[in-house]
Amino acid sequence: MKCNKISLLIVGLVAFGFSACGNDDSVREPEPTDSRMVMNFNFSHPSQSRATETSFEVGDRVGLYVTDSKTEFEIAGNVVNNEKATFGASGWSFSRDLYWTKGEYNAYGYYPYQDDIPSITDLPFEVRTDQAIPEADGALSGYEASDFLYGSSKGIQASADPVNLLFRHVMSKISVRMIKGEDFEGELPDDATVYIHNTVTEATVDLQVGIATKLQRGKSNTITACPAGNHTYSAIIVPQRLDNRVPLIEVVMKGVSYLFESKFIFKQGTHHLVNLVIDKNPDQIKIEVGGEIENWN
């Protein structure tokens, strides 16, 4: 997925009218009226740019729900239920056409699309443990498949004008940048491996509000971060708090392991920037917290 601003046109299911005049059994489509309007959506990725690592790509799929504003958002029985949109060479396409009538609505979108939605308040989701795996054969890369996006718009008046649905990141992100220390000999390699240890990779997501909650009895795992260039490695993490000092970041290069222990708070929708100063002695690794970016691109 590459981050970009996307435009989505959803065309709704038309109930065909049948009329008979003598032996004429032809099917006629009803004339458009002011009470039936095509749904138009502009879906926007948090980055608003196709030039970055998280742009939408051909084959990406999003899910869409639309509800009447006067009714509860349920797992089924909504105006639109988990409608799948697939991004192709000519834009976004849907398996069926959708219309809405006059009224007020709420819309909810998420990425990546899931066929089976067992719950809209506790949707199971798991970030990948190997986020360095590249995309292949239409499958998302490990990093992209872990980046859960969500957007909603409420109080929508049924109109032919497009509705803007802006996605945001539901998970947390950490980027580890390696910096050569004063006594480090040679150049930093481009083929290092970076691990994020001791984080729970399972969560549940509430599609009503777009909040992720760590699975309370989830098992702590090790995540392999994705190379991002310039000796930087990134990983998507389930929002959580590490209250005890534990092995957290490990860099393995040239057969040497550099391990950093720390407490940490992975905040939802926040990109955490960390610099690791690599010295000759693996026991003298230093950390510089570079800051936080909310609603990162």
**145: phi then psi, degrees, rounded to nearest 5:** -70, -15
**Residue 16's pLDDT is what?**
38
- 202 band by pLDDT with thresholds 50, 70 and 90: very high
Full DSSP string of the chain: -B--B--EEE-BPPPPEE--BTTB--EEPPPP-TTEEEEEEEEE-TT--TTSTTB--TT-EEEEEEEETTS---SSSSSEEEEEEEEETTEEEESS-BEEESSEEEEEEEES--S--S-SSSEEEE--SBTTPPPBTTBPPHHHHH--EEEEEEEEEP-SSPEEEE-EE-SEEEEEEEEE-TT--S---SS-EEEEEEEE-EEEEETTTTEEEE-TTPPEEEEEPEEEETTEEEEEE-SEEEEEEEEEEEEEETTEEEEEEEEEEE-TTEEEEEEEEE-SSGGG-EEEEEEEEET--
- 39 band by pLDDT with thresholds 50, 70 and 90: confident
Q: For residues 173 and 97, which has the higher predicted lDDT (pLDDT)?
A: 173
When the pLDDT of each residue in the chain is averaged and rounded to a whole number, the result is 83
**Residue 12's pLDDT is what?**
37
Q: Quick check: bond before 112 cis, omega within 30?
A: yes
The edge-to-edge listing of strands for the beta sheet with 61-68 is: 91-94, 80-88, 61-68, 104-111, 149-157, 168-169
Q: For residues 83 and 297, which has the higher predicted lDDT (pLDDT)?
A: 83
Lowest pLDDT segment from 44-58, 207-221, 274-288: 44-58
pLDDT in tens, 65-77: 999 999 999 999 9
**Residue 35's pLDDT is what?**
60
**Span 106-122, average pLDDT:** 95
**Residue 20's pLDDT is what?**
40
Q: What angle do CA 190, 194, 197 make, to 5 degrees?
A: 180
Lowest pLDDT segment from 20-29, 157-166, 240-249, 256-265: 20-29
Which long-range contacts does 286-295 make (Cβ < 8 Å, 24+ apart)? 286/181, 287/249, 287/260, 287/262, 288/179, 290/177, 292/267, 294/269, 294/270, 295/46, 295/168, 295/169, 295/269
Q: What is the pTM of this model?
A: 0.83
**Residue 23's pLDDT is what?**
43
Share of the chain above pLDDT 90, in %: 53
Tell me: pLDDT of 161 over 90: no
Q: For residues 18 and 229, which has the higher predicted lDDT (pLDDT)?
A: 229
**Residue 172's pLDDT is what?**
97
**Residue 220's pLDDT is what?**
96
- 125 band by pLDDT with thresholds 50, 70 and 90: very high
Number of Cβ within 10 Å of residue 288's Cβ equals: 12
